Amino acid sequence: MPNARIGILVVAYNAESTLRSLLHRIPAQLKPKIDEIFVFDDASQDNTHQIGLEVQKDFEGTRLTVIRNPVNLMYGGNQSRGYQYAMDRNLDFVVLLHGDGQYAPEVIQDLLTPLETDAADMVLGSRMLIPGAARKGNMPLYKFLGNRVLTFLENHLIGSRLSEFHSGYRAYSVKALRQIPLGRLTWNWHFDTQIILEFIKRGFRIAETPIPTYYGNEICRVNGIPYAIHCVWEALKFALFHRWRLHAPLPAAQRPPKQPSTDCSPS
């Protein structure tokens, strides 16, 4: 799509040690085509917001906006707010980037290309497409095995063939996002799985592209066992209500109210 309006959503929580370098690592040649970079600080307890404002003063090449949530919205809630911002700004594409620096901004263009060429509606950055790359990037063995097992189960239940469900590095068509009921998705970590399922339900095109793997000193805030249970449960519901069609889903008005979670937020 020529002259597409592109945004980069940076979700950040307690990212004071990584946010500055992450923003400066966005390729200079990419900045002129980016309409806006918007950092959503999820009520961090450190100086994440202040550092974002400091970078904003000397940031060159594109508009940088720093927004602090007044309360912690958690991982899914923070993303939802960022996507709503992208819709309000009438952007065409939005890239999700994590403030902790785990995903390389140097390869943003690789995620954008399938969208710009109208080959996909969602692009997932995958650490598993290149055999052995994840472990060479210091992905812990237990995370690697958990990722592979969960992805296998989800593919089996959903009928998909994705190499990885659990990368947080993504790019979306905003036109497609407008059709996703973001307000009905979880605020918790399995938001990423739910949004993939929502795209599959609607027949949207999902592409994958290899991304480098990096594990450093970032703090992991995901509680692995509940996260895995939630992901498998979402895949099972998809199989029952959409793939196997054994039961019809409850109408929205009859669904039990969403319970607030006490989990921590990103990144």
What structural domains does the chain harbor? 6-247 (3.90.550.10)
Residue 237 has pLDDT above 60, yes or no: yes
**Long-range contacts of the stretch 139-143 (C-beta < 8 A, 24+):** 139/213, 139/215, 140/215
pLDDT in tens, 53-73: 999 998 988 999 999 999 999
What span, in angstroms and rounded, lies between the C-alpha atoms of 181 and 13? 24
- Dihedral of the CA atoms 177, 4, 130, 163 (nearest 10)? 20
pLDDT at 2: 75
* Mean pLDDT score across all residues of the chain: 90
Residue 178 has pLDDT above 70, yes or no: yes
8 DSSP assignment: E
3-class SS at 128?
A: coil
pTM higher than 0.85 for the full model? yes
pLDDT above 70 as % of the chain: 89
| DSSP letters spanning 22-71 | HHHTS-TTTGGGEEEEEEEE-S-SSSHHHHHHHHHHH--SSEEEEEE-SS
Both tokens assigned to 253: 């008005």
pLDDT in tens, 180-227: 999 999 999 999 999 999 999 999 999 999 999 988 665 566 667 899
Q: Which residue has the higher pLDDT, 220 or 45?
A: 45
What span, in angstroms and rounded, lies between the C-alpha atoms of 112 and 26? 13
Mean pLDDT, residues 101-111 taken together: 96
On the 0-12 / 13-18 / 19+ scale of CB atoms within 10 A, 145 is exposed
